[in-house]
Structure 1
Amino acid sequence: MPTTISTPVRVFAWLSFIFEVFIIGTGGAVRLTGSGLGCSEWPLCTPDSLVPTPEQGIHGVIEFGNRTITGVVGILAIVVLLFTLHIVGGRRAVVSTLWFALGGIGTGVVAYATASAMNIPAFPFFSAGLLLVALVGAVSSLRSISGRKDLPTLAWIVLIGVIAQAFVGGITVLTGLNPFIVGFHYAASLALVCVTAAYLVRMREPSGTRVRVVPVWFAILTHVTGLALALTIVFGVLTTGSGPHSGDANVIRDGFDASFLAHVHSWPGYILAGLVVVMVASAWIQRLAVRNWTLVLLAAIAVQVLVGVWQAREGLPALLVGIHMVLAALAAATYTVVALKLKQTAAEPAHG
């Protein structure tokens, strides 16, 4: 039986994708304006206040604004999940998930109280307890659903990812903006952008057996391109982590040579651009179903390369670095669409 995705689900799914991209921009603003420790505590902004105080100035406002967007992202993830479960599994799937949510909150509260009694940072334990129950809830939910599982799986991944990101965000503050944790925080956000993009693709397609609609060599070329994209992003994260934008004036980067890493970052970037050009030419010569999306990917990578070269020549101005970070997420999301379009749902055989 085909799955009918209603207009509200589509709207919230798009909002979830948009805000996952937006939070990369606000997270970049935190780092690029030196506001990483604008709020010195987590989840409170100060030891005595949830919101920033006048003494914290604009840095506190920027950091707290990013935390607020995290709440919006979480709410959207919950809404998309509940809508999806209702469509695929019915009322029973929704009720079961709500019970797990209540159990997760209860577990988190117990963990928080226990950590507080031991005079250690409590919120990471709350997040860990909530995350653990969410993982158990996801497994139980997916096992109980007899119908389509791809959309619920993607929706669960987004929600669990948001909870995990809240946990990592707290650790980032508590460790004084450790560059590796900050880099992981960004990479995880980018991965969530790709997952929400995958949901947008799959919600427009029927369930059923998916078959490859491109030649094997083109599928291999696409996956090699994905590897080049991943390496470009990894070296980009390391380069930014070693550069001048540490997230706070008192945080010094001293692990890698930023100039050398900038060159290393460019190597897979140029390889990526060349591979995408080959993909576009091949797709249009062969008139493959993904040819239009390969053009979108080429445009995204071309703009990304131009911005990367521009920011390097201008000495890494904060605005261009922020644009580069957001464009990386959009390029990864576009690649996700191309990769998913390599297959289509097979048509059901005619009866009679």
Structure 2
Amino acid sequence: MNPSVVSRVALANVVANGVIVVTGGAVRLTGSGLGCPTWPECTDGSIRPTPELAGHGLIEFGNRLLTFVLVVVAFATVLAVFASVRRDLRRLAVLSLLGIPAQALLGGVTVLTGLNPWTVAAHFLVSAVLVAIATLLWLRSREPGVGQLLVRRPFALLVTGIAVTVAAVQVAGTVVTGSGPHSGDPEAGRTGLDPELMSQLHADVVFLLIGLTVALLVGLHATDSPGRVRRAARDLLLVELAQGLIGYVQYFTQLPAVLVLLHMAGAVLITVYTARLVWSVRGPASELPVGAAPVATTAVR
């Protein structure tokens, strides 16, 4: 199969995974988390919402339908990858597909437990992992294969540290969400943790993330590292700053739903740009490792 086709399908997979996270946030922010009070059916004896459930049922049911769209896109991605010569992409494509039924089951548990905040958090975090996998798959599909490390090893380790810190930020963010308002339903429980304390902890980890990203960017420029890595670090920092600004504004304006939804979209972008940074430190399969001298060739006379 044409590599450009594989890349386009893989990009659609990234978009689909990101959209379903944002629409899931809309379900919670509209209080429609239990619009379909059971699972896998919407109500006992019906897969569709009943008129009694009104708008909340339609919103939750619509989000569930998007899962089928995601399955189609992920399945198309697997078919495209397996029809190409890119064996190195197969594991990512399969993981992206298998993550969907796992996520659906977790969503069912979330509904059946009355939107327990810890299962809601896990539901989001699994989605973030799927977004990262889909992003890596798409970026790798645009090159002939994964090559050698393009930066010095300390920088590669710092990139790994940034990725781990992003994961910590996401986890802390879900704890903040589970401790505050916007539970998804008036009857849903909360973690019982202090929202203000959790918000401060979340902010502290964000400051650490921004500091690590700034340090990486300065180091990359000081050592004249490849442009693709510097651009990836720069763009991630810009997204982090924008996300931090939205976070502060929403906190001091009592968490309006619109800003919370923007913050969720920002979390998706943070995941995408972090995956891009991780991808950037290795060049295409044809690239030489950092510090390697090109092989000299002697002309045959």
Q: Deviations over 1:176-197 (max 9, x none)?
A: 1111111000000011110110
Q: Pick the aligned partner of 1:43 from 40, 44, 52.
A: 40
Alignment correspondent of 1:256: 193
How far apart are 1:5 and its partner, in Å? 4.2
Alignment TM-score, normalising by the size of structure 2 = 0.91
Alignment correspondent of 2:283: 344
Q: CA contact under 8 A between 1:276 and 1:294: conserved in structure 2? A: yes
Alignment correspondent of 2:203: 266
Give the counterpart letter for 1:35 in structure 2.
S
Q: Deviations over 1:154-201 (max 9, x none)?
A: 000000001101111111111111111110000000111101100111
Q: CA contact under 8 A between 1:38 and 1:61: conserved in structure 2? A: yes
Matched, 1:241 2:178: yes
Alpha-carbon separation, structure 1, partners of 2:37 and 2:286: 56
Q: CA contact under 8 A between 2:217 and 2:233: conserved in structure 1? A: yes
SS at match of 1:211: strand
How far apart are 1:346 and its partner, in Å? 4.5
Pair 180,201 (structure 1): closer, same or farther in 2 beyond 3 Å: same
Deviating more after overlay: 175-184 vs 249-258? 249-258
How far apart are 1:267 and its partner, in Å? 0.3
How far apart are 1:350 and its partner, in Å? 9.4
Q: CA contact under 8 A between 1:36 and 1:173: conserved in structure 2? A: yes
Q: Deviations over 1:201-221 (max 9, x none)?
A: 11012136x311101221122
Alignment correspondent of 1:173: 111
Give the counterpart letter for 1:18 in structure 2.
V
Alignment correspondent of 1:85: 82
Alignment correspondent of 1:153: 91
Q: CA contact under 8 A between 1:5 and 1:203: conserved in structure 2? A: no
Q: CA contact under 8 A between 2:35 and 2:59: conserved in structure 1? A: yes
Alignment correspondent of 2:290: none
Alpha-carbon separation, structure 1, partners of 2:9 and 2:234: 27
Alignment correspondent of 2:292: none
Give the counterpart letter for 1:20 in structure 2.
N
- What does 1:146-295 correspond to in 2, within 5 Å? 148-207=86-145, 210-289=147-226, 290-295=229-234
Work out the percentage of aligned pairs sharing the same amino acid.
Answer: 39
- What does 1:17-96 correspond to in 2, within 5 Å? 17-88=14-85
Which 5+ residue runs of structure 2 have no aligned equivalent?
288-294
Alignment correspondent of 1:302: 241
Alpha-carbon separation, structure 1, partners of 2:120 and 2:270: 21
Give the counterpart letter for 1:183 in structure 2.
A
Structure 1 runs, 4 residues or longer, greater than 6 Å off? 348-352
How far apart are 1:9 and its partner, in Å? 2.3
Q: CA contact under 8 A between 2:9 and 2:80: conserved in structure 1? A: no
Pair 318,350 (structure 1): closer, same or farther in 2 beyond 3 Å: farther
Pair 214,320 (structure 1): closer, same or farther in 2 beyond 3 Å: same
How far apart are 1:254 and its partner, in Å? 4.2
Alpha-carbon separation, structure 2, partners of 1:204 and 1:180: 37
Q: CA contact under 8 A between 2:4 and 2:142: conserved in structure 1? A: no
Alpha-carbon separation, structure 2, partners of 1:226 and 1:169: 25
Deviating more after overlay: 338-347 vs 264-273? 338-347
Q: Deviations over 1:50-71 (max 9, x none)?
A: 2222211111111011101111
Alpha-carbon separation, structure 2, partners of 1:350 and 1:283: 28
How far apart are 1:81 and its partner, in Å? 0.2
Q: CA contact under 8 A between 2:116 and 2:190: conserved in structure 1? A: no
What number of residue pairs does the alignment pair up?
289
Alignment correspondent of 2:8: 11
Q: Deviations over 1:87-119 (max 9, x none)?
A: 13xxxxxxxxxxxxxxxxxxxxxxxxxxxxxxx
How far apart are 1:285 and its partner, in Å? 2.7
Q: CA contact under 8 A between 1:34 and 1:59: conserved in structure 2? A: yes
Alpha-carbon separation, structure 1, partners of 2:279 and 2:4: 22
Give the counterpart letter for 1:10 in structure 2.
S
Deviating more after overlay: 270-279 vs 154-163? 270-279
Give the counterpart letter for 1:220 in structure 2.
L
Alignment TM-score, normalising by the size of structure 1 = 0.78
Give the counterpart letter for 2:259 in structure 1.
L
Q: CA contact under 8 A between 2:17 and 2:127: conserved in structure 1? A: yes
SS at match of 2:283: strand
Q: Pick the aligned partner of 2:271 from 332, 336, 340.
A: 332
Deviating more after overlay: 148-157 vs 185-194? 148-157
Alpha-carbon separation, structure 2, partners of 1:326 and 1:346: 33
